[in-house]
Structure 1
Amino acid sequence: MKLAVAGGTGTVGVHVVEVARERGHEVVVLSRSAGVDLVSGSGLPDALSGVDAVIDVASTQTISAKESTAFFAAVTRNLLTAEGAAGVRHHVALSIVGIDKAPYAYYAGKVEQERLVRAGAVPWTILRATQFHEFAAQIRSQTSFGPLTVVPRMVSQPIAAREVAERLIDLAERPPAGRVADLGGPREERMAKMVRRYARAIGARGPVLEVPLPGAYGRAMRDGTLVTAQDSDHGLQTFDQWSDAQAR
């Protein structure tokens, strides 16, 4: 198959590209470095020529609902329009567990993304996954002030980005399936504990302060909204195993 990966240079995108090539697929990476601007749509028509399926794992770094919604709306519309013109038969989108119950901040954009995919003319599959193991490292880098790291009080169910990529390729190889079973990590973790564990693994020191974020967004982080339900699938690699690998 010929697969196009939107966001193929990102945290999960690099794994999607790697897994696809390991399985013998031809891969087109949709990124600025490859001459494609997902937000403006520039370069998309040529890039999607002959493509069988598009896997969208594009993301943006913002906690603004307005900015997130604008980004995902533009990217999704551009992809679906170009896919329709190119005759792409399958659109696979990666989303996030629990966003319909917490349509705030960054998640507002993912809700809009799902809405557009469902309403579009291209046959689709949506996989919702929990946060990646790498999320702890991202949180630490964004919320450290000197030796102090301030972490939101959050219940997470971290999963290996590689395992998410493998599931996305599985889905792309099959016919469009609509909304499929959610995918989460093997166990629930507290974000503060994850950040402390990661810091030890890389030899970093300093206190980690856990604070509750205000409002509905913060409540969703704390109350289990963003972890999987009983009818979900689960990966195998634990966060501790991932952290040990970072230390090595």
Structure 2
Amino acid sequence: MKIAVAGGTGTVGRHVVDVVRERGHHAVILSRSTGVDLVTGTGLADALAGVDAVIDVSSTQTMSDAESRAFFGAVTRHLLEAEVAAGVRHHVALSIVGVDLAPYGYYAGKVLQEQVVVRGPVPWTILRATQFHEFGSQLLERMRFGPVVVVPRMTSQPVAAREVAERLVELATAAPAGRVRDFAGPRVERMVDVVRRSAAAAGVRGLIVEVPIPGAYGKAVRDGTLLARPGADVGRRTFDEWVATV
């Protein structure tokens, strides 16, 4: 199969591309580095020629409702339009566990993405996953203020990005299945502990402080809204096993 990966150079996208190739399929990376602008749609028509399925793992760094909705709305609509023109038969989107229960900030865009896919013209599959193991390292970089790292008070169930990639490729090579079972990591963690263990593994020093985020969004990340529900599929690799290898 010829499988296009939107956001194929990102945290999970790199793994998706690797898995596609390891399983004998042809991967097409949709990113600015390959001449494709997902936000404007530039380059999509040529890139999707002959493609059988698209896996969308694109992302943006924002906590603004408006910015997130603008990004995911534009990217998803452009992808679906180009897929129809190219005859793509399957659109697979990666979303977030509990996103519909916490439609704020970044998650607002993911909710819109799901809505556009469900209402769109291309047969689809949506997989919701929890935060990746790499999320702790990302917070360590993004939330550093001098010698202090500020971490939101958050309960998470981190999962290996590689395992999410494997699941996405399995879904893309099968028939469209609609909303499939959520996918989560094997253990519930406090995000501040994840960041501290990430820092220790990387040899990064500094004070790591846990701070509650106010409002509905803050409550959602604290109270277990983003954790997997009964019936979800659970990954194999714990955060401790993963961080020991990086």
Residue matched to 1:155: 155
* Alpha-carbon separation, structure 1, partners of 2:47 and 2:200: 43
1:42-94 Cα offsets, whole Å, 9 max, x none, are 11011111100000000000000100000000000000000001110000000
What SS does structure 2 have at the residue aligned with 1:245? coil
* Alpha-carbon separation, structure 1, partners of 2:203 and 2:48: 44
Q: How does 1:120-199 map to 2 (within 5 A)?
A: 120-199=120-199
Q: How many residues align structurally?
A: 246
1:9-41 Cα offsets, whole Å, 9 max, x none, are 000000000000000001110011111110000
How many Å apart are 1:146 and its aligned residue? 2.0
* Alpha-carbon separation, structure 2, partners of 1:87 and 1:25: 18
* Alpha-carbon separation, structure 1, partners of 2:151 and 2:33: 33
* Alpha-carbon separation, structure 2, partners of 1:14 and 1:201: 22
Residue matched to 2:222: 222
How many Å apart are 1:243 and its aligned residue? 1.2
TM-score in terms of structure 2 length: 0.99
Letter paired with 2:46: D
Letter paired with 1:77: R
How many Å apart are 1:207 and its aligned residue? 1.8
Letter paired with 2:142: Q
Unaligned runs of 5+ in 2: none
Residue matched to 2:70: 70
Residue matched to 2:13: 13
Residue matched to 2:79: 79
* Alpha-carbon separation, structure 2, partners of 1:229 and 1:196: 26
- Shift >3 Å, 4+ stretches: none
Letter paired with 1:179: R
Residue matched to 1:59: 59
Letter paired with 2:137: A
How many Å apart are 1:241 and its aligned residue? 1.1
* Alpha-carbon separation, structure 1, partners of 2:141 and 2:190: 17
Residue matched to 1:90: 90
1:118-162 Cα offsets, whole Å, 9 max, x none, are 000100000000000000001111111222111100000000100
Residue matched to 2:206: 206
* Alpha-carbon separation, structure 2, partners of 1:36 and 1:209: 39
Unaligned runs of 5+ in 1: none
TM-score in terms of structure 1 length: 0.98
* Alpha-carbon separation, structure 2, partners of 1:203 and 1:39: 37
How many Å apart are 1:220 and its aligned residue? 0.3
* Alpha-carbon separation, structure 1, partners of 2:34 and 2:148: 38
* Alpha-carbon separation, structure 2, partners of 1:63 and 1:211: 16
* Alpha-carbon separation, structure 1, partners of 2:34 and 2:89: 23
How much identity, in percent, do the aligned residues show? 68
* Alpha-carbon separation, structure 2, partners of 1:84 and 1:76: 12
What SS does structure 1 have at the residue aligned with 2:228? coil
Letter paired with 2:154: M
How many Å apart are 1:205 and its aligned residue? 1.7
* Alpha-carbon separation, structure 1, partners of 2:86 and 2:115: 22
